[in-house]
Chains A and B, each alone.
Chain A
Amino acid sequence: MIPYALTFAFGCFGLSLLFNLYRIFVAPGVVDRVLALDTMVINIIALLVLYGINTHSAVYFEAGLLFAMTGFVSTVAYCKFILRGDIIE
């Protein structure tokens, strides 16, 4: 039963990534693009963990943790740049 559920979840998160890509290309403002990139990182973490379940290996959790950290830092850096025009003042 688990392989079918895994395939379903893979499909859902893949479709979510496509939605986010659409929002990055067609967005009314720069803030929406930052939001879409943030959501994209979240979906990629979910995909990495799913792939870890699929291949029975724990390596992908470290990759997910790294993605979570760099995603947070990059979103904050983008927002800081939009707000102030400078990241570290």
Chain B
Amino acid sequence: MEQIAEITISVLLVAAGIFGLVGSFGLIKLPDTMTRLHAPTKASTLGVGGVLLASMLYFWIMRGQLSWHEFLITMFILLTAPITANFIAKAHMHRFGDKNTMPDTGTPRDWATFEDESKEMEPVMTRVEPKPKVTASDHQF
């Protein structure tokens, strides 16, 4: 049992180290900010998650004391990572993003973050009606 736990903990630690390194390497390797935003998510989920899981197993099996601190830290990081990513992307779009190169939203409304405040209370789900297709049978009559 001890042997299996030792192997599991070691594998988790090595995998977490590799993922953390990959995340930070992507931060300096990838070409622009929006792609660079993607790299550290590996470090924050798999890297730190692996380390915390290894620590939990270590203190549980090797030391005989189950601690919930690691679980708390994991939950906190998993909850806050999307929020920080959203904020950073928004800051980048407003500071450096070009509004004309953004893809179309598919609705009459603009991207929510670029919208002026007077439109903010309007309903969101107003889709553009697709134009009726001109089929071959229409032309015959």
Tell me the A residues contacting B by CB distance below 8 Å. 1-2, 4-6, 8-13, 15-17, 19-20, 22-23, 28-32, 34-36, 38-39, 42-43, 45-46, 49-50, 52-53, 56, 58, 61-62, 64-65, 68-69, 72, 75-76, 79-80, 82-83
Contacts and interface: CB of A to CB of B under 8 A. Distances in A.
Contact of B24 (A4, A20, A28, A69): A20
B40 A61 contact: no
A34 B27 contact: no
Contact of B73 (A9, A22, A34, A45): A45
B55 A49 contact: yes
Dominant SS at the A interface?
helix
Interface stretch (B89-97, B103-111, B123-131, B132-140): B89-97
A52 B21 CA distance: 20
A29 B93 CA distance: 12
Given A72-B84, A83-B90, 8 more contacts: A2-B13, A9-B20, A13-B47, A16-B25, A31-B96, A42-B47, A43-B47, A68-B73
Contacts, number: 162
Contact of B20 (A23, A29, A46): A46
A19 to B, nearest CB: 4
Nearest to B13: A5
B51 A76 contact: no
Interface residues of B, number: 51
Nearest to A65: B73
A75 B84 contact: yes
B112 interface: no
A52 B36 CA distance: 30
B132 to A, nearest CB: 42
A46 B37 CA distance: 19
Interface string B26-62: 0110000100110010011001100110110011000
9 contacts: A5-B9, A5-B14, A12-B17, A28-B33, A42-B40, A49-B52, A49-B70, A62-B69, A76-B83
